[in-house]
Structure 1
Amino acid sequence: MTGNITKRIQEIQETIPSTVRLIAVTKTVSTEAIREAYEAGIRDFGENKIQEALAKQEKLQDLNDITWHFLGHLQSNKVKQALLHFHWIHTCDRVKIAQRLNRLLGELEITPPNLLLQVKPLKDPNKYGWEIPELLEALPTLNEYQHLKIKGLMTILPLNQSTEETQAAFTKVRDLGQKINIQKDLSFTIEELSMGMSADYPIAIEAGATMIRLGRTIFGERPH
């Protein structure tokens, strides 16, 4: 594997705009592989599980300019750890979690992480997140949570969509961001769109993604 990671990163970076933030998704990836990606210039790393992330962060303390992104489903009992150990949380997916994040940020004396609201542009019982009408309805409530640093939207699409369906779904998320930004009286704006993974990131970039989350494309197939 060693060497391949560097080569893959170089190939990806040659094909994506410099304005798009490349997040290396390191679920089940060794700290050695993370170090190689770091040496190749990656500074943004994404983890899905808090415990796995904490173990890796412990071993990688010497790489003190890493930006850590939490990408997994955020459970209520893990909110405090997510706030303490990540610079970005991509998966605020319901009002209850936003409320808990806000309350804990009011109690903890820390810099709030950047927060993305997870949306579902397509109906999918297997994915978390707000459906678009639900999120629009929740905006006044979210606006009351003064401790939250809401920066954008995030989405994960269902598997096996056609190129056209994928393009349309990403475009819906982009349009939602624009719709939110013209609303009066909101204290936050949608600046970031975290959308696109190994299978569909070129389509996401075309639709306006500012962040892409790549695991397999950088690190190869994961062991099952």
Structure 2
Amino acid sequence: MTIASRIESIRLTLPPSARLIAVSKQVSSDYIRQAYRAGVRDFAESKLQEAISKQQELKDLPDISWHFIGHLQANKARKVLESFDLIHSLDSLKLAQRLDRLASELEINPQVLLQVKVVPDPDKFGWDTDELIADIPALVNCKQLKIQGLMTILPQGLSDGEKLAAFEKTGDLAQIIENSSSLCLPHLSMGMSNDYPLAIKAGATLIRVGTGIFGDRIY
């Protein structure tokens, strides 16, 4: 299948409320152009330098939107703020407060998602559920940040039932936060190539698909 045909097949499964994010890490700029020509406008990267290089190569494409989905290191925070339209991987209060200070210096209001671990996973970054709820008052005080929702990455080895339950728990957590604070969280970034249909059932609004669009990566 071509990139365009894969995109069309995925689009046929998406409700109007779900936006397709093409995970373009370790994918050539030519492949990104093919996805763009097929109608995709949102692309996600996890490495800052790789993303900046592609952004330069693709700066002729109008309306393209760049998403950061990798672990955000504090020493690269300023450049990430300057280079991306939405940061999916804000994973701690300390980092949020750093981004808030930098955003104030840059006079910007970056859009961010809070990365949460609804299933315990020592290999993943992000808040545990109870920790995030406890940190919400401090996060509300990060006035420069536009907190738009939650992001989750599930651990390997879960059954479909366990995945669906975890995605639903993420949606429930967003509702709890909205009901107990001034935050409005319209977005749930969850679901990847192998499980995005389950995420959609649970209300995902941002679907992160890499292999399902570009095929297997060549490392």
Alignment partner of 1:115 is 2:128? no
Offset at residue 168 of structure 1 (A): 0.7
The number of residue pairs the alignment matches comes to 219
Does 1:209 find its partner at 2:204?
A: yes
| Residue matched to 1:100 | 98
Matched residues in 2 for 1:214 and 1:200: separation?
A: 10
Q: 162, 166, 169: which one pairs with 1:169?
A: 166
Deviations 1:35-83 (A, max 9, x none): 0000000000000000000000000000131010000000101110110
What is the root-mean-square deviation of aligned Cα atoms in Å? 0.9
Residue from 146, 164, 182 that aligns with 2:143: 146
1:17 to 15, 18, 40: 15
Deviations 1:124-163 (A, max 9, x none): 0000000000000000110111111000000000011101
Decide which of 81, 86, 97 is 2:79's aligned counterpart.
Answer: 81
Q: Give the Å deviation of 1:190.
A: 1.1
> Is it true that 1:127 corresponds to 2:124 in the alignment?
yes
| 2:5 corresponding residue in structure 1 | 7
Q: How does 1:171-210 map to 2 (within 5 A)?
A: 171-183=168-180, 186-210=181-205
Q: What's the % identity of the aligned pairs?
A: 54
| Matching of residue 31 in structure 1 with residue 26 in structure 2 | no
1:137 and 2:151 correspond: no
Structure 1's consecutive aligned runs of 4 or more residues displaced over 2 angstroms after TM superposition are: none
CA distance in 2, matches of 1:119, 1:37: 29
Whether 2:192 is the aligned partner of 1:158: answer no
- Taking structure 1 as the reference length, the TM-score comes to 0.96
TM-score scaled by length of structure 2: 0.98
Distance 2:146 2:175 in 1: 18
Q: Distance in 2 between matches of 1:199 and 1:160?
A: 12
SS at 1:182 equivalent:
helix
Q: Once the two structures are superposed, what CA deviation does each residue of 1:173-218 show, in whole Å capped at 9, x if it has no partner? A: 00001111111xx332111000000111000000110010000000
Give ranges in structure 2 of 5+ residues lacking alignment.
none
Name the counterpart of 1:45.
43
Whether the aligned pair in 1 keeps the contact of 2:52 and 2:83 (CA below 8 Å) is: yes
The CA deviation at 1:18 is 2.1
Greater Cα offset, 10-19 or 132-141: 10-19
